[in-house]
């Protein structure tokens, strides 16, 4: 159990956004997905800092995409969640769910 890394909220949100956007998850689509669902706008710097951490932990993988019309022929970088990433996300969400179980948050039934 200790091999599964703990996730912070931005890490959870990023992993979920990658899963939702699969197989077209890259910086812009991840940012837009989080914005659409949570109303929170992260800068690309924050998004990539989180992606870097997740990749270092082996929770996501990346591949280079096609060259677009962007300046200098830069390639998009697509991200996918690894098996370890899915396990970590599941464990993290389950932990939140178990904490919520039976708790009455003001105005909302938990």
Query: Does 104 interact with another protein (rule: CB under 8 A)?
Result: no
Count the Cβ atoms, other than its own, within 10 Å of residue 9. Answer: 11
Query: Does 52 interact with another protein (rule: CB under 8 A)?
Result: yes
Query: Does 49 interact with another protein (rule: CB under 8 A)?
Result: yes
Query: Does 68 interact with another protein (rule: CB under 8 A)?
Result: yes
Query: Does 76 interact with another protein (rule: CB under 8 A)?
Result: yes
Residues that bind another protein (CB under 8 A): 26-28, 31, 43-49, 51-53, 62, 68-71, 74-77
């Amino acid at each position: 159990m200790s091999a599964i890394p703990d996730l912070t909220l931005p890490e959870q949100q990023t992993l979920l956004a990658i899963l939702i956007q699969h197989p077209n998850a890259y910086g812009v689509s991840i940012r837009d997905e989080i914005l659409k669902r949570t109303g929170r706008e992260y800068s690309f710097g924050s998004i990539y800092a989180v992606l870097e951490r997740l990749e270092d932990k082996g929770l996501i993988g990346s591949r280079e995409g096609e060259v677009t019309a962007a300046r200098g022929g830069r390639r998009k970088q697509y991200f996918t969640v690894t098996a370890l990433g899915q396990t970590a996300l599941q464990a993290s969400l389950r932990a939140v769910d178990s904490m919520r179980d039976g708790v009455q948050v003001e105005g909302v039934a938990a």
